[in-house]
Amino acid sequence: MNRWQVHIEAEPEYSVYDFDIYRYFIGPDVQIGNIYPVMYAKGFYEGMTEAGQKDIINLIRCAWAGSQRYGALVWSGDIDSSFRSLRIQLRAGLNMGLAGIPWWTTDIGGFHGGNPNDPSFREVIIRWFQYATFCPVMRMHGAREPHTPPLGVSGGGLMESGAPNEVWSYGEEAFEIFKKYILIRERLRPYITELMMAAHGKGTPPMRPLFYDFPQDREAWNIEDEFMFGPDLLVAPVLYEGARARRVYLPKGSSWKEVSTGIKHQGGMWIASDAPIEDIPLFLRDGAYLPI
């Protein structure tokens, strides 16, 4: 039986970040601090294994090289709800995969802030949702605003609660877009299963920078805002407010079919791709078929 256990923190939560004065049993923080999240994941993994649990996957917010050995599914923590934060998450996820940790995810729409009734934030979460469809793990979470007051004077009633954060909480337009991408994700399930099997067997990151698949293409090494989701699909998220088009680089050595238009392009070139609010640019490689 599979077991999922959520760990809110996998690192010490400091109130003052003077790392040079912190000490652990095995040494000072500045020398060995990054071992903490590895040992944290290992401790839970070994305990759960001894209790008879199998296929262990734990959702944690901090990791280091080797954490993947202990079923670490890493999310990027309590991040800001903004386009700037979305751009950072894209780079973080690609680096996480290259570091050997394939199970990675973000809070769709960020965690801190974001009012479901704010049109600007609705655009952020739509674009984030589209991006997240092509991440190893796709999940909603967040502390939306405005918070509701506590419901009582004791126990759990003392806690305030965030605003609604379901897929239907952002208006009809957003809901239809969310539904579209949820169905894309569902249709891609067999493909994603293959990607995760490759990650398990060979360490191949499911999402990776263009240079991973196209190391001979010099331009591919300069691209930080696109990625390959497996070997067959290039994803070019929309990362800026108000953008309804973007430039996309298509790596050389392959041909590319734009999903939204069906137009085929030769690699090794930049193109201008339309990106209305309901779509992000997606490209299939070398005649590949995916049920997008």
Which pLDDT score, from 0 to 100, does residue 149 have?
A: 86
Strand order of the sheet with strand 207-208?
207-208, 227-229, 233-235, 282-285, 255-258, 264-266
Quick one: which H or E segment has residue 186? helix 172-187
Residue 10 within any structural domain of the chain = no
Residue 163 within any structural domain of the chain = yes
Separation of alpha carbons 97 and 117, rounded Å: 34
271 vs 18, which has greater pLDDT?
271
* Backbone phi, psi, residue 112, to 5°: -90, 110
Nearest to 35 by CA among 18, 58, 12: 12
Residue 157 within any structural domain of the chain = yes
Residue 180 within any structural domain of the chain = yes
Determine the average pLDDT of the residues in 212-240. 98
Which pLDDT score, from 0 to 100, does residue 128 have?
A: 98
pLDDT at 155 over 90: no
Average pLDDT over the chain, rounded to whole?
Answer: 92
Provide the CATH number for the domain around residue 85. Answer: 3.20.20.80
Which pLDDT score, from 0 to 100, does residue 5 have?
A: 58
Residue 37 within any structural domain of the chain = no
Query: What is the number of domains present in the chain?
Result: 1
Q: How far is CA 140 from the centre of its chain?
A: 11
Question: Which residue spans within 61-203 are E strands per DSSP?
Answer: 72-75, 104-105, 144-148, 161-163
Residue 191 within any structural domain of the chain = yes
Residue 51 within any structural domain of the chain = no
Determine the average pLDDT of the residues in 39-66. 92
The model's confidence at residue 231, banded by pLDDT at 50, 70 and 90, is: very high
Separation of alpha carbons 249 and 269, rounded Å: 6
The model's confidence at residue 1, banded by pLDDT at 50, 70 and 90, is: very low
**Tens of pLDDT along 238-250?**
999 999 999 999 9
* CB-based burial label for 253 (10 Å; 0-12, 13-18, 19+): middle
Domain extent, residue 158, equals: 76-203
Separation of alpha carbons 165 and 143, rounded Å: 8
Determine the average pLDDT of the residues in 69-75. 93
**Tens of pLDDT along 117-152?**
999 999 999 999 999 999 999 999 888 999 888 888
The token pair at 211 is 């240079």
Residue 137 within any structural domain of the chain = yes
**Tens of pLDDT along 174-214?**
999 999 999 999 999 999 999 999 999 999 999 999 999 99
Nearest to 120 by CA among 238, 239, 242: 242
Nearest to 69 by CA among 92, 91, 94, 46: 46
Helices (H), 99-155: 119-132
pTM for the model = 0.93
